[in-house]
Amino acid sequence: MSFFAAWDSWFPTLLNGLWVSVRVAGLSLLLGLPAGLLLALGSSTKRRPVRWLVIGLVELGRGMPALVMLQIVYFGLPSAGLTLSAFVSAAIAFALTTAAYTSEILRGGLQAVPAGEVEAAEALGMARRDTLRFIVIPQGVRIAIPPLMGFAILIFQVTSLAYTIALPELTSQAYSIGSSSFRYTSVFVLAALLYLAVTIPTSFLTERVENRLARHL
């Protein structure tokens, strides 16, 4: 019984931590997804210098671990004259990672739109920009929704890395309870259950959305 003994007293603290995690993940997605779409368009443009520059940026962003990105933003930027709070640093670092990863997911979605539709739009005399806006992007983004949801689950888990910059999210809260009570196993099991409470339902939802979208393609 002692394993669960202090769970009720830890729960509110951990729940606060979970809320911080959710907020960081939400803000990263909010900032990162539009940037990812821009990068996806940039990496499939016909202009070679633009395309290469964008592909280079994406490869840099994907090649660097999110944890390293976080250390650069939080510890490194102040020496370049830009000091940010732990919360903002985490959101920015994970938004950069999000942009790089989702650009590849979105590019896959955009490419999955049949070329015949683009040709048809051109034959109707639509401007390239309108084709992109009304034909390619709405369908491409829709195809990309299930993998994007999968990525959202990952970025939610990635927020645990913000423990290293002392952001009071779920993992840091659990760690500080653990280091004062020396009951690491118990507190981390509770923290893990809280993570699962978010990730498992989202994962099931992703599967349902995937099945539903597959019907219309």
Unique residue bearing structure tokens 């993940």: 25
Q: Closest CB to other proteins among 46 and 180?
A: 180
Q: At closest approach, how far in Å is the CB of 113 from other proteins? A: 23
In angstroms, the CA 83 to CA 73 distance is 9
Cβ atoms 47, 86 nearer than 8 A: no
> Residues, the chain, total?
217
Cβ atoms 26, 169 nearer than 8 A: no
Cβ atoms 77, 84 nearer than 8 A: yes
Q: Closest CB to other proteins among 126 and 154?
A: 154
Q: Closest CB to other proteins among 112 and 200?
A: 200
In angstroms, the CA 43 to CA 41 distance is 6
Q: At closest approach, how far in Å is the CB of 64 from other proteins? A: 4
Residue (of 209, 189, 213) closest to 201 by Cα position = 209
Contact residues for other proteins, defined by CB under 8 A: 59-60, 63-69, 71-72, 75-80, 153, 157-161, 163-164, 171, 174-175, 178, 182, 184-186, 188-189, 191-192, 195-196, 199-200, 203
Phi, psi of 71 (to 5 degrees): -65, -40
Q: At closest approach, how far in Å is the CB of 116 from other proteins? A: 26
Phi, psi of 65 (to 5 degrees): -60, 145
Q: At closest approach, how far in Å is the CB of 198 from other proteins? A: 8
Residues 6+ apart with CB under 8 A from 60: 100
Q: Closest CB to other proteins among 59 and 122?
A: 59
Q: Closest CB to other proteins among 53 and 200?
A: 200
Q: Closest CB to other proteins among 49 and 81?
A: 81
Q: At closest approach, how far in Å is the CB of 66 from other proteins? A: 8
Q: At closest approach, how far in Å is the CB of 57 from other proteins? A: 12
